[in-house]
């Protein structure tokens, strides 16, 4: 009987603290296990290129749990999950503990974000409205749960051991977005906080159509006046690639260089895929372009017309669908320009001493990486100092801002086909993180020095 009373007394003392103030007895409950699991993020609002630490406390020692991430974008559900085992203290830390399954495995601190996908479809996670964040809900669930059934169950019931929310932005607070519709030039101008002037850069995406401004928004968040130039399938712009004209891109560069919020001394250009080729072409002709960045861009003309660059004739090219490889998953198009000839087609972008960064995914199924090696070999010795080539083995075509999921295939509404982009997660995801560091460092080094703004 005495032993039983002692056990009960010690049990109560373990979670009830008794204080006496005058004649009042105050009971304070302090046992953490009565509270249950708790889910935390290192910051509730971040830029998409910033890391987020996710931690769980209050679990049982060595408890198996599933950490689930869900969000809605473009009226579609996206999710990811990781399987964890709590440590001796009943905690999980995504920066310390490995995932044992789910949508990713191993020690990947940002795995919940890089493995985000549509659980019931194949849509690509894409930010079409940069004025809104990715609204992410994180939840913790008992045991190791299968991904799709858990995502479906949670989206219907919102039942979880604990949950919290997170906002991931492309636009830092204070960044302004201005839709441009001026003298036949279209796009979106993203401006950093403050009055400026700011280093200016023209951003040209691949052939997706409309305005694609999420990279421009992120560049503005890092201090650049970034102009996302629309060039196809928008208002009265051409609907087909063969109707594009290099003069439009020259006018777009001239427009940005003339803005009062843009620092004098020239602007930069950054382009991806066809956009990279268009930036290369424009930079060889425009006196305003001082810095060039291309990610998996074709180093030759992607326009049908021939052009003259000083005394050099550069032949236009045409897409030959017969040379594509068609699979059940999609189209491999990197052989569509088999007639490409180094001497007749390569763009002499070294002619104007533009500081140039070329980013290459060596498992690209859309643009042949060998063309980038050809470009590097063609640069005269005295001009090589202006170039930096960064090659990423195992990386595919869509080298996005860091912590974006790898997209291996997606539908192109302009060409009406599903493209295979290539890349393996274990190589592609680190490449995206490293490439973004390279791009920001390159732009900050070679754009107008901040001291002169």
How far is Cα 285 from Cα 304, in angstroms, rounded to an integer?
17
Output the six-digit token pair for 130: 């940069």
Of residues 176, 154, 246, the one with CA closest to residue 204:
246
SS in 3 state form for the chain? CHHHHHHHHHHHHHHEEEEEECCEEEEEECCHHHCCCEEEECCCEEECCCCCCEEEECCCCCCEEEEEEEEEECCEEEEEEEEEECCCCCCEECCCCCEECECCEECCCCHHHHCCECCCCCCCCCCCCCCCCEEEEEEEEECCCCHHHHHHHHHHHCCCCEEEEEEEECCCCCCEEEEEEECCEEEEEEECCCCCCECEEEEECCCCCCCCCHHHHHHHHCCCEEEEECCCCCCCCCCCHHHCCHHHHHHHHHHHHCCCCECCCCEEEEEECHHHHHHHHHHHHCCCEEEEEEECCCCECCCCCCEEECCEEECCCCCCHHHCEECCCCEECCCCCCCCCHHHHECCHHHHCCEEEEEEECCCCCCCCHHHHHHHHHCCHHHHHHEEEEEECCCCCCCCCCCCCCCCEEEECCCCEEEECCCCHHHHHHHHHHHHHHHHHHHHHHCCCHHHC
Residues known to be catalytic: 273, 364, 397
Is the backbone of residue 112 left (phi > 0), alpha (psi -120 to 50) or beta?
Answer: alpha
Backbone phi, psi, residue 66, to 5°? -115, 125
Residues 6+ apart with CB under 8 A from 29: 15, 16, 17
- Residue keyed to tokens 């493209």: 419
Of residues 135, 110, 137, the one with CA closest to residue 51:
110
Q: How far apart are the first and last CA of the chain?
A: 83
């Amino acid at each position: 009987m005495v032993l039983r009373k002692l056990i009960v007394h010690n049990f109560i003392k373990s979670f009830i603290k008794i204080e006496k103030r005058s004649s009042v007895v105050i009971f304070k409950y302090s046992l953490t296990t009565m509270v249950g699991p708790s889910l935390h993020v290192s910051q509730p609002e971040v830029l998409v290129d910033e890391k987020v630490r996710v931690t769980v406390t209050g679990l049982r020692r060595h408890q198996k749990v599933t950490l689930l991430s869900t969000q809605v974008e473009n009226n579609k559900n996206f999710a990811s999950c990781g399987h964890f085992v709590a440590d001796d203290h009943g905690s999980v830390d995504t920066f310390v503990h490995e995932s044992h399954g789910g949508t990713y495995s191993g020690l990947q601190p940002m795995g919940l974000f890089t493995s985000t996908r549509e659980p019931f479809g194949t849509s690509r996670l894409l930010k079409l409205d940069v004025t809104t964040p990715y609204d992410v809900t994180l939840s913790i669930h008992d045991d190791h749960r299968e991904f799709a059934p858990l995502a479906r169950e949670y989206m219907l019931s919102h039942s979880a051991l604990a949950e919290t929310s997170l906002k991931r932005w492309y636009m830092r607070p204070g960044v302004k977005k201005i839709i441009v519709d001026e003298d036949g030039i279209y796009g979106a101008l993203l401006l950093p906080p403050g009055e400026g002037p700011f280093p200016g850069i023209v951003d040209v995406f691949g052939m997706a159509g409309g305005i694609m401004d999420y990279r421009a928004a992120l560049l503005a968040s890092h201090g650049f006046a970034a102009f996302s130039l629309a060039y196809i399938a928008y208002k009265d712009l051409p609907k087909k690639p063969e109707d594009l004209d290099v003069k439009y891109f020259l006018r777009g560069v001239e427009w940005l260089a003339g803005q009062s919020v843009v620092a004098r001394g020239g602007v930069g250009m950054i382009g991806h895929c066809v956009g990279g080729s268009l930036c290369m072409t424009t930079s060889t002709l425009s006196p305003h372009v001082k810095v060039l960045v291309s990610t998996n861009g074709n180093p030759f003309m992607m326009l049908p017309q021939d052009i003259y660059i000083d005394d050099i004739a550069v032949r236009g090219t045409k897409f030959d669908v017969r040379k594509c490889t068609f699979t059940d998953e999609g189209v491999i198009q990197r052989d569509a320009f088999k007639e490409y000839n180094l001497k007749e087609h390569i763009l002499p972008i070294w002619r104007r001493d533009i500081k140039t960064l070329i980013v290459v995914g060596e498992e690209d199924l859309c643009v042949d990486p060998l063309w980038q090696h050809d470009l590097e070999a063609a640069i005269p010795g005295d001009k090589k100092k202006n170039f930096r080539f960064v090659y990423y083995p195992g990386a595919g075509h869509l080298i996005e801002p860091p912590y974006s999921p790898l997209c291996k295939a997606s539908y192109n509404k302009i060409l009406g086909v599903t493209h295979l982009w290539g890349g393996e997660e274990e190589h592609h995801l680190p490449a995206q993180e490293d490439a973004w560091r390279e791009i920001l460092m390159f732009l900050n080094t070679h754009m107008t020095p901040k001291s002169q703004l």
